[in-house]
């Protein structure tokens, strides 16, 4: 393994929504920024092709969203001078390697994936379920292995996809009798509340549950949302004891307030009411997100296009070299 390979990191976010939420940030983006600042060579991808699996009727929107997601990467701390930001469909090697991997991936591996089963249920009738949905983890594997990364920083829900990724890598090497790929590390936050951040209603934070705080929400929107957040159901009066582990407001306090231990203690002992916690939580969240919101407001569309063009060029350099190696290992010329 070359030194370059040991230092490379690849991860991505779908552009099914124009805005990232604090779950995306805690599960993934925050680690991307830390890794960037530790000197890793970061490839930050906007997965527009993956977004098409559910939004194929709105491909234009997926593309517009992709630019907005790139803005959130930068707002969240990705520095385009240090890291490459690119859109998946701009680097055609992803589609080509996906096709080649789809030939060597057993169907059974894909049918077992939990996210596939969930999406299948969401979409309802089997006739409407696109072929691309089943291949979702195969495309994700192509995304990853093209960069031969040291690790892939993601939230907990992505673990099954990463497992298939390493399984395909091993299968490829074995089939073609060549060590083209080495296993990559799963970089999932140790802290479970970050690996799977709860939403305002304590279910997993997700756009589809409408329980998100977005990085680019205004301060007022954030305040309004936190007011409606789920707290300990049995805590009716201030003096009732709270259970901070099961309270969305306390979860956010733990991440964003420097005095959360005291706040949790007071909640447990019935020394504070939920309204006080909500007010303090709003202040802490808004203070944390303020610099990101300011950075985002300063970004203009032309600058983003230039960043994405540069990012795709850099990504293509790595991706095309890997694809050549893959084809040569397979004996294709
Ligand atoms: P996506 O777009 O669903 O989510 C992007 C990232 O955010 C994380 N995440 C969360 N983490 C903690 N708590 C939450 N509530 C929460 N919600 C989302 C996800 O785990 C993810 O890390 N398949 C990927 C996109 C992708 C990709 C890749 C990722 C395409 N190719 C290659 C890594 C490598 C996805 O759907 O992420």
Residue 286 placed within a domain: yes
CB 24 within 8 A of CB 58: no
In a domain, 205, yes or no: no
Number of structural domains the chain divides into: 2
Same domain, 155 and 262: no
Choose among 141, 119, 51: nearest CA to 89. Answer: 51
Q: Is the pLDDT of residue 254 over 80?
A: yes
Is the same domain home to 17 and 154? yes
Does residue 209 form part of some domain? Answer: no
CA 14 – CA 62 distance, rounded (Å): 9
Residue 87: inside a domain: yes
pLDDT bucket at 67, cuts 50 / 70 / 90: very high
**Among protein residues, the one whose CA lies closest to atom 31 of ligand 1:** 140
Take residue 23 and report the two structure tokens written for it: 């779950």
pLDDT in tens, 98-135: 999 999 999 999 998 887 877 777 666 566 788 999 99
In this prediction, residues 27-55 reach a mean pLDDT of: 97
Domain of 250, in residue numbers: 217-295
Q: Is 151 in the pocket of ligand 1 (CB under 6 A)?
A: no
pLDDT at position 119 = 72
Say whether pLDDT at 289 is over 90: yes
76 C-beta closer than 6 A to ligand 1: no
Which candidate in 7, 119, 196, 314 is catalytic?
A: 119
Residue 124 domain flag: yes
Specify whether 102 is located in the same domain as 162. yes
Long-range contacts of 262-265 (CB under 8 A, 24+ apart): none
With b for 16 or more beta-carbon neighbours within 10 A and e for fewer, the 110-120 pattern comes to beebeebeebe
Give the nearest ligand 1 atom to 50 CA.
Answer: 30
Considering the domain architecture, whether residues 117 and 141 belong to the same structural domain is answered as yes
């Amino acid at each position: 393994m070359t030194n370059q390979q040991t230092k490379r990191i690849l991860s991505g976010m779908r552009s099914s929504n124009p805005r990232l939420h604090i779950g995306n940030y805690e599960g993934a983006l925050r680690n991307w920024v830390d890794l960037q600042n530790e000197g890793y060579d970061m490839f930050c991808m906007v997965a527009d092709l993956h977004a098409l699996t559910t939004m194929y009727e709105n491909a234009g929107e997926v593309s517009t969203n992709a630019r907005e997601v790139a803005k959130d990467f930068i707002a969240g701390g990705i520095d385009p001078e240090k890291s490459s930001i690119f859109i998946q469909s701009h680097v055609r090697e992803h589609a080509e390697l996906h096709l080649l991997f789809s030939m060597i991936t057993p169907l059974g591996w894909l049918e077992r994936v939990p996210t596939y089963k969930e999406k299948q249920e969401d979409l309802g009738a089997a006739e409407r379920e696109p072929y691309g949905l089943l291949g979702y983890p195969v495309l994700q594997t192509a995304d990853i292995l093209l960069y031969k990364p040291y690790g892939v920083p993601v939230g907990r829900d992505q673990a099954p996809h990463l497992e298939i990724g390493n399984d395909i890598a091993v299968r490829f090497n074995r089939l073609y009798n060549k060590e083209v790929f080495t296993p990559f590390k799963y970089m999932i936050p140790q802290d479970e509340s970050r690996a799977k951040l709860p939403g305002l209603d304590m279910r997993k934070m997700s756009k589809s549950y409408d329980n998100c705080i977005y990085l680019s929400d205004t301060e007022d929107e954030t305040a309004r949302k936190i007011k409606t957040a789920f707290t300990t159901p049995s805590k009716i009066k201030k003096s009732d004891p709270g259970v901070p582990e099961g309270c969305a407001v306390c979860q956010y306090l733990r991440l964003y307030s420097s005095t959360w231990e005291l706040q949790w203690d007071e909640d447990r002992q019935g020394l504070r009411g939920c309204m006080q916690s909500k007010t303090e939580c709003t202040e802490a969240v808004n203070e944390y997100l303020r610099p990101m919101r300011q950075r985002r407001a300063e970004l203009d569309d032309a600058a983003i296009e230039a960043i994405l063009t540069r990012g795709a060029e850099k990504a293509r350099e790595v991706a095309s070299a890997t694809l050549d190696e893959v084809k040569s290992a397979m004996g294709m010329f």
